């Protein structure tokens, strides 16, 4: 099956990575809208225009399904493109429900990190209304992480300073669950965990990639490779397995062929392999 996956930038690679591991026999087309990243601080009209263009070009390429690997684009434009195009379009929403269920057991609170647009949009508000009757959820915009991710700065002083600055308004010891409500945030798992440890808080990080891939499989009638538990395989061996999967990368419509850029995507898969083992 031909599966088109897109995001404003590199965040969506985290969804692609999960899909490649669980559904390795499919043909993937990953589109990073590098000309327009970041989406999370733009107007809904602007974001909808970008999303309509990308979905239109994926439809012309004959995709069997499209995944919007971007919480921001989903919040603003998923309903619009679903009306316009008749193929399955799968969106991503912050994984609030599993986080609330876990927090009900731990007795802690849930912090949802996302872009300012995702936080402002009604989709997230109505999701929280539906699943958070105990009012455990708080929201925190983290747009700076998108900029840092696009520069491949996932650790170090600048990253720690930004995260700590954003978290300074909160009592970190109250939280046990952090929802990564933007696909770009997956790269920062070590730094986010560390910033909570400063106040002796041990948090679980919850992202929506696994649930989205499971839903994609269901929509396409595919079987997931659930037994691909690869934590005991060396990271590079795993990356070699991923290398054998059929993926084409596009940057705002242009097929990526340059070695330097393809090396960058490979580096990002390595990073994800590392952080997903935490």
- Contact window for ligand DGL (CB under 6 A) among 17-25, 133-141, 153-161, 176-184: 176-184
Q: What's 256's DSSP letter?
A: P
- Per-residue x/- mask for ligand DGL, residues 205 to 244, rule CB under 6 A? ----------------------------------------
Rg (CA), the chain: 18
Under 8 Å CB-to-CB from 36, ≥6 apart: which residues?
A: 8, 42, 46, 50, 252
Based on CB atoms, which residue is closest to ligand DGL, 9 or 108?
9
**Binding residue count for ligand DGL, defined by CB under 6 A:** 17
Residue of 149, 120, 104, 130 lying closest to 8 (CA atoms)? 149
User: Which residue's Cβ has the minimum distance to ligand DGL?
Assistant: 40
Residue of 196, 188, 189 lying closest to 168 (CA atoms)? 196
Least gap, CB of 56 to ligand DGL (angstroms): 19
Structure tokens at 120: 């402002």
Least gap, CB of 96 to ligand DGL (angstroms): 14
Residues 20-59 interacting with ligand DGL (rule: CB under 6 A)? 37-40
CB 3 within 8 A of CB 63: yes
Least gap, CB of 210 to ligand DGL (angstroms): 15
- Contact window for ligand DGL (CB under 6 A) among 103-111, 166-174, 178-186, 268-276: 178-186
72 part of the interface to ligand DGL, by CB under 6 A: yes
- Contact window for ligand DGL (CB under 6 A) among 15-23, 76-84, 125-133, 180-188: 180-188
146 part of the interface to ligand DGL, by CB under 6 A: yes
Q: 3-state secondary structure string, 123-143?
A: HHHHHHHHHCCCCCEEEEECH
Residues with active-site annotation: 70, 182
Least gap, CB of 75 to ligand DGL (angstroms): 8
Under 8 Å CB-to-CB from 55, ≥6 apart: which residues?
A: 66, 81, 84, 85, 89
Least gap, CB of 25 to ligand DGL (angstroms): 26
CB 114 within 8 A of CB 71: yes
């Amino acid at each position: 099956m031909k599966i088109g996956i897109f995001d404003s930038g590199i965040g969506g690679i985290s969804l692609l990575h999960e899909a490649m591991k669980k559904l390795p026999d499919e043909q993937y087309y990953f589109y990073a809208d590098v000309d327009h990243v970041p989406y999370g601080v733009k107007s809904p009209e602007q974001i909808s225009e970008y999303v309509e263009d990308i979905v239109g070009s994926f439809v012309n390429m004959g995709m069997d399904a499209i995944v919007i690997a971007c919480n921001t684009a989903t919040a603003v434009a998923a309903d619009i493109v679903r009306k316009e195009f008749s193929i399955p379009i799968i969106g991503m929403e912050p994984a609030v429900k599993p986080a609330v269920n876990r927090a009900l057991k731990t007795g802690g609170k849930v912090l949802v990190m996302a872009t300012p647009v995702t936080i402002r949009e009604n989709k997230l508000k109505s999701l929280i209304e539906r699943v958070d009757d105990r009012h455990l959820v708080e929201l925190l915009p983290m747009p700076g992480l998108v900029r840092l991710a696009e520069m491949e700065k996932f650790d170090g002083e600048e990253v720690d300073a930004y995260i700590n600055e954003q978290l300074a308004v909160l009592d970190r010891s109250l939280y046990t669950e952090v929802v990564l409500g933007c696909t770009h945030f997956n790269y920062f798992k070590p730094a986010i965990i560390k910033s909570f440890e400063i106040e002796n808080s041990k948090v679980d990080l919850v992202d929506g990639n696994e649930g989205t891939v499971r839903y994609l499989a269901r929509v396409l009638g595919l079987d997931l490779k659930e037994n691909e538990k690869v934590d005991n395989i060396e990271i590079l061996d795993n990356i070699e397995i991923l290398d054998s999967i059929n993926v084409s990368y596009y940057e705002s419509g242009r097929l990526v062929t340059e070695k330097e850029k393809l090396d960058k995507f490979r580096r990002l898969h390595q990073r994800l392999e590392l952080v997903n083992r935490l």
